[in-house]
Amino acid sequence: MTLRDLPDFEYLAPKDLREVCRLLQERHGRAKVMAGGTDLLVHMKQRIVIPQYVIGLKHLSDLEYIEYSEDPGLRIGTLTTHQSIAESPIIRERFGALGTACSMVGTPQIRSMGTIGGNLCNGSPSSDSAPPLIALNAVVKLLGVEGERIIPLEAFFVGPGETALLAGEILTEIQVPSPPLRTGLTFVKLPARTRVDMAAVSTAVLVTLGLKNQICEDIRIVLGAVAPIPIRAKRAEEVLRGKKIEDELIQRTAQRASEEAQPISDIRSSANYRREMVKVLTKQAIKQALGQAQSA
């Protein structure tokens, strides 16, 4: 892809976040923010979006970081790349499924350029990073001309390609609380055709067991690519919450999750196939998360 493939636009290079927010508000509806550019430039080439202005963030290097302390937990700057997250020792140790998900994003070149904030702000139902982050009860920090606000990531997605960002707002940070003791988290993905494709179905499952027993104290099941947004399978979670996790209950939970999915047929696969794969992946993810929690 060359610049000649793109529609005409004016490139803006703000020096700080306040200027980013001001430019976004002044040019609301006519400007797009570019972080890594792996999604935006493709969409511009395909004329899916034709912004008059592109606001580049490449000069805001202080938005690229991974920081962790037991309390409050993990903090990831919006410009942190998928590759950095996948290779981070603390994420591998404490938030492994998030690293796994980021390692599955596209090709090595895309992972080295694409950012976690850009991936979330794209609002794709097939986002690889969203399901494990939602399962981990992550929140996002948003900055606008009127100040900051923090909302659950689960509430950040409002429709295909649509997020809760207001005019003049930018996502600056993802915050993830430290998981409780005896917690396991896993992410499994069925790509559409090849290993580097977007997910046709993905599932993240978090399981927390009692400190002195095998009772499921908490479970979070998040489905990707099978609804207009990444969704919690909350009715499925209730099948296991407060009970000892056994094979028969896992089967019922997976069946309930498939019933909560809202897949459509597209070029990737049929709705029926994707619903069936929700059942398969959910069962697999629960078993893996349970094993992690038992050995934690």
> 6-38 pLDDT, tens per residue?
889 999 999 999 999 999 999 998 999 998 888
pLDDT at 166 over 60: yes
pLDDT at 144: 95
Q: Are residues 128 and 219 in the same domain?
A: no
Q: Which of 55, 79, 98 is the last residue of a domain?
A: 55
pLDDT at 61: 86
Q: Is residue 207 helix, strand or coil?
A: strand
Mean pLDDT of 195-202: 66
Mean pLDDT of 165-180: 96
Q: Are residues 16 and 90 in the same domain?
A: no
CA distances from 7 to 46, 101, 236, 255, 278 (A): 9, 32, 46, 46, 39
CATH for 213: 3.30.390.50
pLDDT at 4: 61
Cβ atoms of residues 190 and 281 within 8 Å: yes
Give the span between the Cα atoms of 256 and 108, in whole angstroms: 36
Give the mean pLDDT of the chain: 92
pLDDT at 196: 45
Cβ atoms of residues 265 and 275 within 8 Å: no
Residue ranges of alpha helices (H) inside the chain are 17-26, 40-45, 82-87, 89-94, 96-103, 108-113, 116-121, 130-135, 153-156, 234-240, 247-260, 271-295
pLDDT band at residue 195 under the 50/70/90 scheme: very low
pLDDT at 193 over 70: no
Q: Are residues 76 and 148 in the same domain?
A: yes
Q: Are residues 207 and 286 in the same domain?
A: yes
Q: Are residues 31 and 74 in the same domain?
A: no
CATH for 74: 3.30.465.10
Q: Are residues 244 and 197 in the same domain?
A: yes
Report pLDDT digits (tens) over 98-115: 999 999 988 888 898 999
- Please give the torsion angle defined by the CA atoms of residues 62, 160, 25 and 37, in that order, rounded to the nearest 10 degrees: 40
Query: What are the backbone angles phi and psi of residue 266, rounded to the nearest 5°?
Result: -150, -165
pLDDT at 225: 92
pLDDT at 58 over 90: no
Give the span between the Cα atoms of 40 and 27, in whole angstroms: 17
Q: What is the pTM of this model?
A: 0.93
Between 1 and 134, residue with greater pLDDT: 134
Give the span between the Cα atoms of 190 and 194, in whole angstroms: 9
pLDDT at 194: 46
CA distances from 114 to 81, 256, 268 (A): 6, 34, 23
Cα 254 → chain centroid: 21
pLDDT at 107: 87
Give the span between the Cα atoms of 83 and 75, in whole angstroms: 16
Indicate the range of 6-15, 36-45, 271-280 predicted with least confidence.
36-45
pLDDT at 198 over 70: no
Q: Are residues 111 and 45 in the same domain?
A: no
Domain residues for the domain of 252 are 183-295
Structural domain count, the chain: 3
Q: Which of 176, 195, 214 is the last residue of a domain?
A: 176
Report pLDDT digits (tens) over 233-257: 999 999 999 999 999 999 999 999 9
CATH for 19: 3.30.43.10
Q: Are residues 91 and 124 in the same domain?
A: yes
pLDDT at 267 over 80: no
Q: Which of 176, 198, 216 is the last residue of a domain?
A: 176
43: left (phi over 0), alpha (psi -120 to 50) or beta: alpha
SS3 string, 213-258, reads CCEEEEEEEEEECCCCCCEECHHHHHHHCCCECCHHHHHHHHHHHH
Q: Are residues 77 and 9 in the same domain?
A: no
Q: Are residues 231 and 291 in the same domain?
A: yes
